[in-house]
Structure 1
């Protein structure tokens, strides 16, 4: 009885902290957006408050609606606030199955796909191939660099571009790599020339978000291109640029956004103008993530990070099955999920 009461108290505290952190993040974003665009129309703030209370049952879901309104310059019914998504939608439609994306070594067990550039896994003191054959430690370096001069090592739970490390045969020290923790070694991807024109040095990322319905049909819900800066080794949340995509054609939109959600029309380092360029082999990208999602239907929405390589092949860098980012898609392309009835999940 005491333990149950204590758990309830802890849960309430954690819930309050969760929503408080989201409010702070949304408020910070709003200030940055308004620094460029000016104050958000008070009408949109009022509509956001009313909509959050009437549709989601609590006005505390309104801060992200303010952000979406500020970015889009309008208010749209059907938007899903990010804190509502995390606390209501994710538990209802994913449960613990979405968390499997944190365990990189299970990737091939789940998907058994060559679209992932996995070379080896390191888990609990063991190195294995992508097919789970144990590799003796003294042979790991030889195995990793047999087909590529460079590998990428990602630790489990490597969020926001953190926990990503690059190694060549010359600087690979197995004990130092193992000290980083459990993770995955992937072959370094050489991106398609199209993306090198925008920015070279770091591999761009195409983020596609898919949803699988009760009939097993997978639909693409949002898409955008993530770009690094010339000083980056890889795309990082602290410095990245994002450009929405037309999810039917793969066309890059005219307006992109920096980390402050300030609008830009070209890459600030290369001066590449975004307007109307088309992602190569975009249909192949959609088909790839659609087929993969059918292999992991228990996580009903998945955010896929992928790229087209120099051989025009699709490569999936990672999948995000838990609380994947829906904020950017909702603000720039949404509402992306208005037909799914998510606004009613809290009532259940």
Structure 2
């Protein structure tokens, strides 16, 4: 019965991904014209011959339409989720869903964590339990605003912003387990694009079979002018050149449409060099060395107004790879992930 339930869940999962990919492909072709059928056929053949099943073709078709040609070595996002993640992470990647664990694992000052709520207790980043009546003074000792993120929150969901006027421990109790973080005042370069939502850099790092850790992709996630934080259904994603830390000339909207400037501020992307980029790279590499058994991690990083790197969260489970594969890939060509077999 468990096997049957798992097969049914996987069937629905692949159907959902096929529907998503077909929707993206339709949007791309509406904007940029029909994709060469010969290139799409190469994607279909590659899915069957290399990954063993046509269910992995839809995202390969999207990458092909986006790039204008098929490239060997691409990893379909649904293959990554159901084959690569179990092999490369097992249950260890799920730790990233438990926000209070991050400080215990990584330590240091790169996390903006102030306090946590878990299993009925409030406690500091030093694991000291705090009486509820003292929590407000501790939380706002060095900041005027905080962000509360629920365990398992992602893609801008499960995020709540408080100041002293609306902060209430009972509200946090009602929301569930999570982390209270200092609200980050972002670097002025990011402010130029949109001043309210804190811009984040999404880095993808991997550990190869020899234990070497490397950055494979990076893109900047920008919110819209009126958003309090970056929302996945409204964000603008701009690929970053890893060699230089410069933004590419075009960013992409939720519908995969290209834009050369932020749609609200009009600030252009071309030629913009990100602040403290080398320090950001060094930070995510150093942090990944503490969890090499989670073989691929997505890191959400920003740079604050003082030029300090801040790691807002990390995703050790199914960190989305489709945008990076389409815009910067193949990102994982040398890792032999295509040889992995699905976990029964």
Between the aligned partners of 1:41 and 1:128, the Cα distance in structure 2 is 57
Matched residue, 1:202:
197
Matched residue, 1:118:
113
Q: Name the SS for the 2:217 alignment partner.
A: strand
State yes or no: 1:225 paired with 2:220.
yes
Q: Which moved more, 1:329-338 or 1:36-45?
A: 36-45
State yes or no: 1:67 paired with 2:62.
yes
Q: Name the SS for the 2:82 alignment partner.
A: helix
- Contact 2:83–2:342 (CA<8 Å) still a contact in 1? no
State yes or no: 1:343 paired with 2:335.
no
Matched residue, 1:189:
184
| Residue 183 (structure 1) shift | 0.6
Between the aligned partners of 1:121 and 1:347, the Cα distance in structure 2 is 37
Matched residue, 1:252:
247
TM-score by length of 1: 0.97
**Structure 1 gaps, min length 5:** 1-5
| Residue 152 (structure 1) shift | 0.3
Q: Which moved more, 1:35-44 or 1:125-134?
A: 35-44
Matched residue, 1:133:
128
Between the aligned partners of 1:322 and 1:33, the Cα distance in structure 2 is 28
| Residue 214 (structure 1) shift | 3.0
| Residue 347 (structure 1) shift | 7.3
| Residue 323 (structure 1) shift | 0.4
Matched residue, 1:316:
311
Between the aligned partners of 1:307 and 1:82, the Cα distance in structure 2 is 25
Matched residue, 1:154:
149
Between the aligned partners of 1:38 and 1:178, the Cα distance in structure 2 is 51
Q: Name the SS for the 1:244 alignment partner.
A: strand
Matched residue, 2:270:
275
| Residue 216 (structure 1) shift | 2.6
Matched residue, 1:266:
261
State yes or no: 1:32 paired with 2:35.
no
| Residues 279-318 of structure 1: per-residue CA shift (max 9 Å, x gap) | 0111000000000000011110101000111111100000
- Contact 1:216–1:294 (CA<8 Å) still a contact in 2? no
**Structure 2 gaps, min length 5:** none
Between the aligned partners of 1:311 and 1:231, the Cα distance in structure 2 is 24
| Residues 92-136 of structure 1: per-residue CA shift (max 9 Å, x gap) | 000000111100010011111210000000001100001110000
- Contact 2:116–2:179 (CA<8 Å) still a contact in 1? yes
TM-score by length of 2: 0.98
Q: Name the SS for the 2:270 alignment partner.
A: coil
The size of the alignment, in residue pairs, is 343
| Residue 215 (structure 1) shift | 3.0
User: Over aligned residue pairs, what C-alpha RMSD do you find?
Assistant: 1.0
Q: Name the SS for the 1:16 alignment partner.
A: helix
